Structure 1
Amino acid sequence: MKLHHLALAALLVLPALPAGSAPKTITLPPDGIQLKASALPGYAKAQANCVACHSAEYMAYQPPTAARPYWDAMVKRMKGVFKAPIADEDMPVIVDYLVKTYGNEQPK
């Protein structure tokens, strides 16, 4: 079947919206926790990539004893499983920020 026939078939089976119906919107509550500010380059990358999809609470609730391999696996999981749009070259600096800010490399 040609591509334009598939497109036409898809239009025929889609439910029609009532005339004049407004698109639905969702207003989410504000985040209760923000990323911990840092001079590390990964801070800006985490703001751009991580909290675009989930709250900073996700990082804050991870074990403070979590080592670098844990955070590396988390960032890889976000990219591989959840399709986070993280550039490969940004991953190490994000991991560095996370482990030094939320993990076992935090200053004492």
Structure 2
Amino acid sequence: MKHTPCLVVALLAVLAAPIAAKDIQLPPDTVQLTPSPLPGYAKAQANCTMCHSAEYMRYQPPSAARPYWDAMVHRMKAVFKAPIADEDMPEIVDYLAKTYGNEQPK
């Protein structure tokens, strides 16, 4: 296919045009993390809910054991690049296992 100079110039103009940014308004979160005196509570607030709603934790299996929560926290850091400090991870896992997992008080 032979391109005419005008067609090439027009195509380059379209490709070089600035793309307008979209303003997306998300609804406010209606679910908060379950409050706890555990140190991992504040660390989960600071780290976990910056990327997703606290609802995410509530929809995990309540029978999930500590290794499940440990794997989830490590996955968030390794796969999704969550900016969680290595030293904060055990306390976050402890909070999640005791608040949302199978270590919840009966």
SS at match of 1:46: helix
- The aligned residue for residue 92 of structure 2 is 94
1:52-103 deviations in Å (ceiling 9; x for gaps): 0000111000010100000000000000000000000000000000000000
Q: 2:56 aligns with which of 37, 55, 58?
A: 58
Report deviation, 1:33.
Answer: 1.1
User: TM-score under structure 2 normalisation?
Assistant: 0.81
User: How far apart in 2 are the matches of 1:61 and 1:29?
Assistant: 19
User: How far apart in 2 are the matches of 1:46 and 1:16?
Assistant: 42
4+ long deviations beyond 2 Å: 14-18
Identity within the alignment, %: 78
User: How far apart in 1 are the matches of 2:30 and 2:97?
Assistant: 21
SS at match of 2:16: coil
User: How far apart in 2 are the matches of 1:15 and 1:55?
Assistant: 37
Report deviation, 1:32.
Answer: 2.4
Question: How many residues align structurally?
Answer: 94
User: Letter of the aligned partner of 2:50 in structure 1?
Assistant: A
- The aligned residue for residue 74 of structure 2 is 76
User: TM-score under structure 1 normalisation?
Assistant: 0.80
Q: What root-mean-square deviation, in Å, do the aligned CA atoms of Structure 1 and Structure 2 show?
A: 2.0
User: How far apart in 2 are the matches of 1:43 and 1:15?
Assistant: 47
Report deviation, 1:24.
Answer: 2.8
